[in-house]
Amino acid sequence: MGDKLKIMYTEEETNKRIRELGEQISRDYGDREITIICILKGASFFACELAKRIDNPVNMEFMRCSSYGNETQSSGEVRIVLDLDNPIKGKDVLVVEDIIDTGRTMKTLVGTLKNRGANSVKVCTLLDKPERRVVDIKADYTGFVIPDKFVVGYGLDYAQRHRNLPYIAEVEV
Ligand code: IMP
Ligand code: MG
């Protein structure tokens, strides 16, 4: 509602960076098909923009995880609340996430997807807050590395607000 927001990356800056990521991913995967797993809800805006910038055949899948806690701090327990409806055995999977914070969500997910027999599992995140990491996980592709600030927009929310902002902003406390 009356949250005070300060722009961190404009719409133009964000879209430019996503185009660059798409080009890099297209180069790296050659002509292989990529199975994008978009992590709902936050990564949905990013995943769609990214997929449009990838030249390879792309297969879009969706998962939703929840980590319990309050609005700005996760508790550590990660659960899959919406699972894939297609097998990923033998697929080249690219997990697309909005932000890696503690890293718990991504660490759990990558482990699960590897166990299901994917040919490869890579991670692409729009934002990374490395200062907050509590488990060892690195993204293969990162849009922007940011300081330990709470951000919204481009899919990211603060108590379900601000996801639809076309830019990335810091919530000022
Ligand atoms: P992790 O398991 O701690 O890495 O949690 C990642 C999840 O926490 C993301 O998918 C977001 O849903 C949420 N999150 C972490 N930092 C932020 C932020 O600055 N803004 C909005 N959501 C965040
Ligand atoms: Mg999320």
Q: What's the pLDDT at 66? A: 86
Q: Can you tell me the mean pLDDT for 74-95?
A: 90
Tell me the pLDDT of the chain averaged across its residues.
94
For atom 9 of ligand 1, which residue has the closest CA?
Answer: 99
Q: In this model, does residue 138 exceed pLDDT 60?
A: yes
Give the position, in ligand 1's atom list, of the atom nearest the Cα of 156.
21
| Domain coordinates in residue numbering, the chain | 12-147
Q: Which of 31, 83, 101, 140 is catalytic?
A: 101
Q: Give the chain's largest Cα–Cα span.
A: 47
| Annotation: CATH topology of 12-147 | Rossmann fold (3.40.50)
Tens digits of per-residue pLDDT, 94-118?
A: 999 999 999 999 999 999 999 999 9
Task: Record the pTM.
Answer: 0.95
Distance 13 CA to ligand 1 centre (A): 21
Distance 2 CA to ligand 2 centre (A): 23
Tens digits of per-residue pLDDT, 41-71?
A: 999 999 999 999 999 999 999 999 987 665 5
DSSP code of 68?
E
Q: Is the CB of 22 under 6 A from ligand 1?
A: no
Distance 54 CA to ligand 1 centre (A): 25
Question: Cα(99)–Cα(138) distance, rounded to whole angstroms?
Answer: 12
Tokens of 23: 């080009």
Q: What are phi and psi of 106, to 5 degrees?
A: -70, -40
